[in-house]
Amino acid sequence: MISSDVIRGYNDTIILNLLLEEPSYGYEISRRIRSISEEKYVIKETTLYSAFTRMEKNGYIESFYQDDIDSGGKRRTYYRITDAGRAYYREKCEEWNLTQDVIARFIK
Amino acid sequence: MISSDVIRGYNDTIILNLLLEEPSYGYEISRRIRSISEEKYVIKETTLYSAFTRMEKNGYIESFYQDDIDSGGKRRTYYRITDAGRAYYREKCEEWNLTQDVIARFIK
DNA sequence: TGTCATACTACGTCTGTCGTACTACATCTG
DNA sequence: CAGATGTAGTACGACAGACGTAGTATGACA
């Protein structure tokens, strides 16, 4: 099991990747990261929600409220990726590929 | 070009990798990282030297002084990897492989 | 003589993650 | 009916690693 700390700097990218498909909210994002990573990575709540705040401030995502019927009319904060967010995601993907390549030269 | 920040947490691993072969000192490590990465990664001096301090404190490396003839008898601080350092390096390599695999699932 | 390369050290700042704790509602279980 | 568990967050302070800036000191080279 991995900690958010070793993924530091790429939590935002992971979240944006999931928001590419459709708007979502904290708890769902959290569960999806967990299942996609096959339980290898469980993001901390504080890490997740502070990423939302930061990314909304940076204009990478936008929030809106939605009262879902299936959860007994519970109000959730949904997030939607913006064009700036999509651009940032692409940049981070390129950066990641470079980084990965560099680190690989020093790892056995 | 990559910053030390995106490699955060793996600078120590990179340094240890170079020390696996033979003891070395700051400036040389710096140049080797630069050349091995083909100028893609240039570690900051402060990052490098604080990594030395941290790793010596953790027992992963040991320092010794050597007055080199080829550099006009200049005194350099050399570092040598310890057994604990080798073990730590192996752990970090495994962690890296896991992390890489997880992040890859969220990167296009 | 001055600039460049070498070889560091000191100190304070910043960012992202973490730990802990707390709220609130719904559903499930004994 | 109570209490545990799952859902869906918020608040706040601590911490570690990287960064920026600056300064020291030596030797080589032009």
Instruction: List, run by run, the mean pLDDT of 10-residue segments along chain B (108 residues).
Output: 95 98 96 96 97 97 83 81 98 97 96
B108 vs B104: CA distance, rounded Å: 8
Report the nucleotide nearest the CA of residue B74, measured to C1'.
Answer: D26
A58 vs B9: CA distance, rounded Å: 25
DSSP string over B55-67 = HHHTTSEEEEEEE
- Name the residue facing B6 among A18, A95, A101 (closest C-beta): A95
Residue to test with chain B: of A29, A39, A103, most B Cβ within 10 A? A103
**What does the block give as tokens for A45?**
């709540």
**What does the block give as tokens for A72?**
């007994």
**Closest listed residue to residue B106, CA positions, set A34, A107, A63, A84:** A34
> Which are the contacts of B16, defined by CB distance < 8 A and separation ≥ 6?
B55, B60, B61, B81, B85, B86, B88, B89, B92
User: Hey, which residues 49-108 in chain B have their CB within 8 Å of chain A?
Assistant: 93, 95-103, 105-108
B23 vs A95: CA distance, rounded Å: 31
pLDDT score for A71: 59
Residue of chain B minimizing CA distance to A21: B106
Q: What percent of chain A is predicted at pLDDT more than 70? A: 94
> Residue at minimal CA–C1' distance from C19?
A46
pLDDT score for B30: 97
pLDDT score for A72: 60
Mean pLDDT in residue range A97-106: 97
pLDDT score for B67: 75
Closest CA–CA distance from residue A46 to any residue of chain B (Å)? 19
Which amino acid, B12? D
Name the residue with higher pLDDT: A71 or A10.
A10
Name the residue with higher pLDDT: B20 or A70.
B20
pLDDT score for B74: 72
| Separation in Å, CA B36 to CA A35, A103, B6, B14, B16 | 37, 10, 17, 11, 14
Using a CB-CB cut-off of 8 Å, the residues of chain A touching B97 are 107
